[in-house]
Amino acid sequence: MGTTNLEGAVALVTGAAQGMGAAHARRLAEAGARVGVNDRIASDALSALADEIGGLAVPGDVSVRDDVTAIVDRVTQWAGAPDVLVANHAYMTMAPIREADLDDWWRVLDTNLGGTFALIQACLPGMRERGRGRIVVISSEWGIVGWPEATAYCASKAGLIALVKTLGRELAPEGIIVNAVAPGVTNTPQLAVDARAAGVPVADVIESYARVIPLGRVGEVDELANAVLMLSDFRQGSMVGQVVQANGGSTRTRA
C-alpha cells in the first residue's frame, strides 16, 4: 500500500494522547492526511503529538455535545471538514455488578457509545457535502465476548458494534463507509494499570495474557494502526459494517 493513499484527506482521531490513538494519528498522517487529534483534556502529550505530525490538538470531552461540536468546528476551520473519523476514545471502570455505581455506568455509556454517536452526527454534514467519508470505530474484544466486572464497558463496546452494523447499511449508499476494529489485548499503557491492580510487574501481565492468545503474544499498537489505515483508505469501499477482530486469534469467528 502506498504512502499517499490519504493525500488531501482531513482526519479526526479521538483518544489520541497516547497508546492506540496516537499510533492511529501517526499512521494517518504518514499516509498524507491532515489530522486533528483529540483527548478529553489538553496535555503536553497531545500537543507534542500534534506538533510531531503537523496536526492540530483539539481537546474536549466527547460525552458533552457542545464539546463535540467545538472539536469538529475547530478541525473544519483549520483544514476543512473531516472526511475520516477514527473514534478511539474510551472510558472504563470495573466493579462487580452489585457494586457498580449507576452514575458511573452512564458516564461509561455516554463517553464510549454516546460520544461516538455525537461525533458521527457532527461529522456527517461535511462528509455528505464532499460525497465521501470513512468512519472507523474502535470497539473491543470485550464487546464481543464480555468480561467479568466490566459490565458498562462491555455493553458500550457491544453497542458500538451494533451502531457500526446499522450505520454501515444506512450510510454506504452515500459513499460514507463505516467499520469497526475490535482489538484484543494490546500493549498500551492500560497494561501498566492492570499490573498495578494485580500487584505484579507489567512483564508478568503480558506473559499471562499471551498464554491464552493463539498467536502467543499480545498485540502492538502499530498493528492496530495498520487495520485502521486499511479501513480509512478511500481505495477500499467493499468492506461495510464489518468488525475487524485484531486479537491474535482469541475470538476468531465470533460476531
Q: Which of 14, 153, 176, 241 is catalytic?
A: 153
The SS3 assignment for 185 reads coil
DSSP 132-182: -EEEEEE--THHHH--TT-HHHHHHHHHHHHHHHHHHHHHGGGTEEEEEE-
State the Cα–Cα distance between residues 137 and 231, nearest whole angstrom: 10
What is the average pLDDT across 212-235?
87
Query: Is the pLDDT at 146 greater than 50, yes or no?
Result: yes
Residue 176's DSSP bridge partners are 133
pLDDT tens readout for residues 30-69: 999 999 999 999 999 999 999 999 999 999 999 999 999 9
Q: How far is CA 97 from CA 71, 108, 138, 142, 159, in A?
A: 34, 14, 24, 16, 18
pLDDT tens string 58-79:
999 999 999 999 999 999 999 9
Catalytic site residue 209? Answer: no
Binned at pLDDT 50, 70 and 90, residue 247 comes out as confident
Q: What's the first-to-final CA gap in the chain, in angstroms?
A: 28
The mean pLDDT value for 233-240 works out to 92
pTM, entire model: 0.91
For each of the domains in the chain, give its residue range(s) and CATH number, in order of start.
10-184+221-244 (3.40.50.720), 185-218 (no CATH)
